Amino acid sequence: MFLQKTIRKKVTVHGHGIHSGNACSLTFKPAPANTGVYFIRSDLPGKPFLKVHCKNVQATSYQTTIGGPDFTVATIEHCVAALSALRLDNILIELDGPEIPICDGSARDFLKALQETGMVELDQPRKYCYITEPIYFSEGDKHAYVLPYYGLRLTISIDFPHPIIGRESLDLDINEQSFAREIASARTFGFLKDVEELQSRGLAKGGSLENAIVLDETKVINPEGLRLRDEFVRHKALDALGDLVTLEMPIMGQVVLHKAGHDIMNKLVRKIIDSPHCYRHIELGANVDEAIRKYSAWNIPK
């Protein structure tokens, strides 16, 4: 059976917030089957909690922020991307403030913490959102769509008018190993002029060359340069995986993105939910092929 998973024991990641610059931490905690992923604000009276779901997304500019009537949690995408890659279905994420630690600007620290604490299977099967027909969303020259696929595949392209970035693309099957090897260490990036503008508005106070790739008009100004030749598009893949967690169950399909940021991803997830004729909720047992083909007349790529 493809069973739901959680972690064996709690584990904490420390750092500071990218916008406030304040010290902060999060603690991953195990949760029982059929719980889902929740953020808990332990610094607020009553420890309010909120589910990671697209309906709770409040902001998608430079980051993904979820919120309810009483509180928000900013920059969730790097943290929950690691959950997606590890197929962690049920987990509580307790915070001592409104921001996720930015760490080094990638998902590496979250992935390491989760792998070190270990994972355990639960007694309930995992449900997948299996795509049976294409679902498409576009806005201007940006587009995002998802196709039937036997697994999870990301096909991403970006195009920035900057001599160091330009056009980059990535096509990758996503699993724990490929995420750790190809995506987890890719850092967020920004342009010096934008950072200066954000800081003038009291934002990005915690931003530095230690937690982001920063570019001026012609080059990367980080002394160590890039970790990966195409680190920019790989970080976009990381962000996309994080935003897909707001679907509330793992997706089986090929996700194709062009110039798609957090806003487009949120709109794609909402479009998927609003297209019930294009997907099925399935549970996978020992005979995976039979389970999938039961719901689709497509020739599933191997």
Query: What is the radius of gyration, based on Cα positions, of the chain?
Result: 19
Q: What is the DSSP string of 11-47?
A: EEEEEE-TTT--EEEEEEEE--TT--EEEEETTSTT-
The reported pTM is 0.92
Nearest to 110 by CA among 192, 180, 177, 174: 180
pLDDT of residue 20: 87
The rounded distance, in Å, linking the Cα atoms of 85 and 131 is 18
pLDDT of residue 297: 44
Q: Does domain 127-293 have CATH number 3.30.1330.10?
A: no
Helix ranges (H only) for the chain are 77-86, 108-117, 176-178, 192-200, 231-244, 262-273, 288-293
CATH architecture of 3-125: 2-Layer Sandwich (3.30)
The rounded distance, in Å, linking the Cα atoms of 52 and 39 is 7
Lookup: tokens for 231:
């680190």
Asked if residues 13 and 110 have their Cβ atoms less than 8 Å apart, the reply is: yes
Asked if residues 245 and 90 have their Cβ atoms less than 8 Å apart, the reply is: no
3-state secondary structure of 66: strand
Domain ranges of the chain: 3-125, 127-293
Nearest to 213 by CA among 259, 167, 162: 162
pLDDT of residue 298: 43
Per-residue pLDDT of the chain (302 residues; tens, 9 = 90+): 589 999 999 999 999 999 889 999 999 999 999 999 999 999 999 999 999 999 999 988 889 999 988 899 999 999 999 999 999 999 999 999 999 999 999 999 999 999 999 999 999 999 999 999 999 999 999 999 999 999 999 999 999 999 999 999 999 999 999 999 999 999 999 999 887 777 777 767 888 999 999 999 999 999 999 999 999 999 999 999 999 999 999 999 999 999 999 999 999 999 999 999 999 999 986 455 554 455 444 443 33
Distances from the Cα of 83 to the Cαs of 129, 196, 211, in angstroms?
16, 32, 20
Residues belonging to the active site: 262
Nearest to 72 by CA among 92, 100, 46: 100
The rounded distance, in Å, linking the Cα atoms of 269 and 264 is 9
pLDDT of residue 79: 97
pLDDT of residue 286: 46
pLDDT of residue 197: 78
Vertex 149: Cα angle to 143 and 153 (nearest 5)? 60
Could you tell me which residues are beta bridge partners of residue 99? 74
Distances from the Cα of 132 to the Cαs of 35, 109, 114, 136, 278, in angstroms?
26, 35, 32, 13, 5
pLDDT of residue 289: 52
